[in-house]
Chains A and B, each alone.
Chain A
Amino acid sequence: MTGTRIDRRLLLILYILALILLREWLIPVIELTNSDHLSLFLLFVALSFFLSLIKVKWWIVLPTKLLFIVLATHYVFFEKVLFTQETLVRLSGNFLANAPIIMNGDWERITNPFRTVLFFAVLWMTTYLIRHWIEVRKSILLFYIMTILFIAFIDTFGGYAADGAIFRIMVTGLLLLGLLAITRLAERHNTSVPTGTFLAISIPLLVAVVVSGALANILPKKDPIWPDPFPYFESLVQGRGEGGGGAKSGYDMNDSTLGGSFVQDSTLVFEAKVDSQQYWKIETKNTYTSKGWEQVSIDDVPISFIPGMKMGEIAGRGNVEDTAQLLADLKVSEAFPFIVYPYGMNKVYATKDVVFQYSEGAGKYSTEIEGKQEALDSYQVEFTESDYSLKKLRATRMEDFSGVAEDLTQYLQLPEQLPERVKELAKNITDNQESVYEKTKAIERYFGRNGFVYTQQGVAIPKAGDDYVDQFLFDTKKGYCDNFSTSMVVMLRSIDIPARWVKGFAPGEFVLNDADEKVYQITNNEAHSWVEAYMPGIGWMPYEPTIGFNSLTDIEYDIELNLDDTLTPEVKKPEQPKKEQTEKTVKTDKNFKISEIFISVGTWIRNNMWIVGAIGFIVIFAGWRLFVGRVKWLPKVLVYTHRTNQDDWVTFTRRYTSLLKQLNRSGLKRATGMTLSDYATMVDNYFGGERMKMLTTAYEKGLYGGNITDHEWFELKEIWEDLINRTSG
């Protein structure tokens, strides 16, 4: 190695710092590959540096390192420090076994001990590189930047949390850079730095780096203004969930991966001829997995019904006197092997000979014809609108759950790794509320009052270590019904209120059909999820936490109230919804076309990513080619753009200047100190003739002689066109 020698003591410090940096590479590699023995690898690096530090001859270094590698590999696989004859044979046999594997290029099958040896070899080379950077180049910037990029990359796209690593890298890297800068300065002046001076320079550096590093670590940091990019990109590419069939809205059986954006899909699902707005329920799910929902059934034997039989959906009923029976006429376009039904359903009528299989756990009525799952295209539902007594609701207490006969434990399930802060939040929200009902209401209202945003675009998918609810509640704060409903269920469960997640459709758009009848049209856009919570003494009751949607239940105000607290918002509700609804309708009508176009364009782009990419690439490449080759076509453009009848000094100047630029592009460069007439001679020598000379003389006459009128404009124009066209040849 050449270059000025670095003081041995300094070199030691530099190597220690480099070792720390290299360690930051090793930690994630070891962690992500589930390997072990970080210290062994570090020891090897340290050994390499140490041997170079004490300037050992290469014929000692080489066997020492080889021995170390063999010993280390041996230790890793036999857990013994010393060889025995048997292990040595096995090890060498193992190594030899790799020869045919490598010959075949069958990289997957390389044996583990051999991989370890290869990894040692990589480390060996890396240490050489670092030694070169430190001792010869005296600049570690490249390695430093690469380290930061590597760590940032695996933090973003891998499951590695580099919070501490990035800090350690910053501090050690800056120190290394600073110390090397001093040695580089010394080298430039061909002197060595006296120790005293060196300390005088490096101690302030050390203090500055350490203090600023410590401050950076202690001071509060703002949260990133963007959502974590990886889930975001993933959601962009994949759409919503894996079974989402791309990224369209609508009913989907698979909810195991929630999150991600989806696009509008206004395909009609069913039409309901019914007098009032209803939520259309399909099923509920009971198990939250941190990423989504699954239905884990516990001894769920389906109950069979036939059309016209009284059915078992009894939520909320029986508490208030039954009111008049209501009828809903449904015409279903999608082939669902189940029915969608309003709360308070009593009976279903269908023309076909169908059997409804009711699964109590999921609350789902599958439709079967002759033992096969079959879709119904129309049916009638008889139902009663449920009323709830506010008095009773307010009397619900947490203690009452103990008296509930039903087994509700499955509705209190929570994943183990649910972050504690979700629980704390739920507690904080509900602490001041007495009744179960009011606690539930408090959580339902929480979203609308705490800056949550309803959106279908750019909704994050939680990555490996993240919780869907936690991410929504504390990080992203934006999402659609799944985010809101899931969060509410999880929060309710965390404070021991049994709750479950409901899927179905929102009431939909109200239209008049051909027969002038009032019909609700439910499209895929109305696919929705909400919450059911168990009120002791009352039963399951629906809640709507998603902002922008209206309350689900009719509450009978059967108690004397001071007309303060909850009553005011509750009473207002019946009026408010209508307004909102109509406003929404009007708005969507207006914006429909444009947003539709945007969405369809977006969908197309997403579906044809590679075409878009290829076109983009071609466009960029063509643009680049055009730009590089502009010397060819630009003259034509210039002749065109300067084709004006106005013949005066200004026009001529413009033409002449453009000619100068074009000549410069065509490879005839004019140095700063070159006069125009010298340049003209050069150009004329190149193209032949005396055109440039004539133009230049005219230009000089105007520029230096101040004579801007006495010119043969037409002739000059001809010469100019002639010359500029030649430049493209």
Chain B
Amino acid sequence: MTHKEMIEKVLTNIEKVMIGKRDIAELSVTALLARGHVLLEDVPGVGKTMMVKALAKSIGADFKRIQFTPDLLPSDVLGVSIYNPREMEFEFRPGPIMGNIILADEINRTSPKTQSSLLEGMEESTVTIDGETMRIPQPFFVMATQNPIEYEGTYPLPEAQLDRFLFKLKMGYPTKLEEIEVLDRAEKAVPIDTLETVVSLEELIELQKAVTEVKVDNTIKSYIVECAAQTRDNPYVYLGVSPRGSLALMKACQAYAMIKGRTYVIPDDVQYLSPFVFGHRMILRPEAKYEGISTTEIVERILMKVRVPIDKVQLK
């Protein structure tokens, strides 16, 4: 079974329960393969949870869900050591973060302290509890959601922490036809329960390793760098994309190329992914907001302007 076939199986599996969300599924798998995490910003009830659950089931991964509330404590995320009187010692009860696929629901509803406990784990793949550092089992994939309308009583994520997410995606409503399809499928049984595991965790780790082998040509690298650099020079942008953003884009492109069955990255990958990678890594100036220009729009403008490398040119 080639890499592409394996991935295709996962995607088909997810599509069984997620109607018309192939692109989100692809991007989620991309993030999973690139060892990144996804921030979903959307209204409740469009299938965020279903998405993650389907993904987890397809790869036979341990699925955990954390519902963030204002009173949630870091220990509720990471786990806690409890004194066991019988054994006469502290025993560690791992928190929900110690899973493979984690849905962090409404992450902006909790205090920054608790937020950062999750975000640290996402960045380092380790957690430190009572001075003891523990590795989080691999693969590790966090899909966090935040609700855009309910700003009351939320703690917006600071930019540095947004940087921890590979993609920031919007799910959007399904079309009417798709919605009918959703109803159709759910009429008799809950579809998610019937999903089977199609790829094992070992195979997934193998895929993650294979992603790093995907070739990124120098012309592509300079193209990515040029796009990132343009965000820093843009008059509407207050803070442009950091080199970490360029790096993230490259990794994402590698994973995406693999999904598309290629062993090399092409400029199309860069163009497709850059809005999702760069979008939440830029801070716009007030002017842009007044004029109603979004980050996506700015990235699109930049992509229009930067010359696509179509031949071997010497790097400057």
Contacts and interface: CB of A to CB of B under 8 A. Distances in A.
A352 to B, nearest CB: 89
B263 interface: yes
A329 to B, nearest CB: 84
B271 interface: yes
B220 interface: yes
Nearest to B304: A673
Interface stretch (B67-75, B152-160, B279-287, B306-314): B306-314
Contacts of B264: 700-701, 704-707
Contacts of B263: 705
B4 interface: no
Contact of B312 (A672, A678, A700, A703): A703
B21 interface: no
Contact of B266 (A671, A674, A704): A704
A333 B303 CA distance: 86
A678 B268 contact: yes
A703 B311 contact: yes
Interface string A588-612: 0000000000000000000000000
B306 A704 contact: no
B267 A706 contact: no
B310 A704 contact: no
B188 interface: no
A701 B305 CA distance: 24
Interface residues of B, number: 21
A672 B264 CA distance: 22
B219 interface: yes
Contact of A676 (B217, B267, B303): B267
A677 interface: yes
Contacts of B217: 703-706
Given A701-B264, A704-B217, A706-B217, A672 B311 contact: no
Contacts of B308: 672-676
A657 interface: yes
Interface string B80-105: 00000000000000000000000000
Q: In the complex, which of the residues B266, B303, B312 has the most CB atoms of chain A within 10 Å of its own CB atom?
A: B266
A676 B306 contact: no
B215 interface: yes
Interface in B214-231: 215, 217, 219-220
A678 B304 CA distance: 13
Contacts of B215: 704-706
Interface string A639-678: 0000000000000010001001000000000011111111
A378 B217 CA distance: 95
A671 B301 CA distance: 12
A674 B264 CA distance: 19
A675 B220 CA distance: 12
A675 B268 contact: yes
Interface string B145-187: 0000000000000000000000000000000000000000000
Interface in B251-267: 262-267
Interface centre among B219, B220, B262 (most CB of A within 10 A): B262
Contacts of A703: 217, 219, 310-312
Given A705-B215, A706-B217, A677 B266 contact: yes
B234 to A, nearest CB: 15
B159 to A, nearest CB: 27
Contact of A704 (B265, B304, B305): B265
A672 B271 CA distance: 13
Contact of A705 (B262, B268, B271, B305): B262
A702 to B, nearest CB: 10
| Interface size class of chain A, counting residues whose CB lies under 8 Å from the partner chain | 10 to 19
The residue among A673, A676, A704, A705 with the most chain B CB atoms within 10 A of its own CB is A704
Contacts of B266: 675-677, 700, 704
Contact of A657 (B219, B304, B311): B311
Contacts of B304: 671-673
A672 B306 contact: yes
Contacts of A706: 215, 217, 264
B266 to A, nearest CB: 5
Given A704-B266, A705-B263, A706-B264, A673 B305 contact: yes
Given A700-B266, A705-B264, A706-B215, A675 B271 contact: yes
Contacts of B303: 673
Interface string A670-705: 011111111000000000000000000000110111
A705 B217 CA distance: 7
Contacts of A675: 266-268, 271, 308
A701 B217 CA distance: 11
A672 B308 CA distance: 6
Most chain B beta-carbon neighbours within 10 Å: one of A673, A677, A705: A673
Counting chain A CB atoms within 10 Å of each CB, the highest count among B262, B264, B307 belongs to B264
Contact of B306 (A660, A673, A705): A673
Contacts of A676: 266-267, 308, 310
Nearest to B272: A675
B252 to A, nearest CB: 16
Contacts of A673: 303-308
A657 B310 CA distance: 9
A231 B292 CA distance: 70
Contacts of B262: 705
A706 B312 CA distance: 11
Contacts of B312: 703
Contacts of A674: 308
A705 B312 CA distance: 12
Nearest to B302: A673
Interface in B267-281: 267-268, 271
A703 to B, nearest CB: 7
Nearest to A676: B310
A677 B271 CA distance: 11
Contacts of B305: 672-673
Given A703-B217, A704-B219, A677 B306 contact: no
A677 B307 contact: no
Interface string B105-146: 000000000000000000000000000000000000000000
A670 to B, nearest CB: 8
A707 B307 CA distance: 23
Nearest to A705: B264
Nearest to A653: B311
Contact of B268 (A671, A677, A701): A677
Nearest to B301: A673
A677 B310 CA distance: 10
A444 B264 CA distance: 89
B15 to A, nearest CB: 24
Given A672-B307, A676-B308, A706-B215, 16 more contacts: A672-B304, A673-B303, A673-B304, A673-B307, A673-B308, A674-B308, A676-B266, A677-B266, A700-B266, A701-B264, A703-B217, A704-B219, A704-B267, A705-B215, A705-B262, A706-B264
Interface of A: 653, 657, 660, 671-678, 700-701, 703-707
23 contacts: A660-B310, A672-B307, A672-B308, A673-B303, A673-B308, A675-B267, A675-B271, A676-B266, A676-B308, A678-B268, A700-B266, A701-B264, A703-B217, A703-B219, A703-B311, A703-B312, A704-B219, A704-B220, A705-B215, A705-B264, A706-B215, A706-B264, A707-B264
Closest 10 CB pairs of A and B: A705-B264, A673-B304, A675-B267, A704-B217, A675-B268, A672-B307, A704-B264, A700-B266, A677-B268, A704-B266
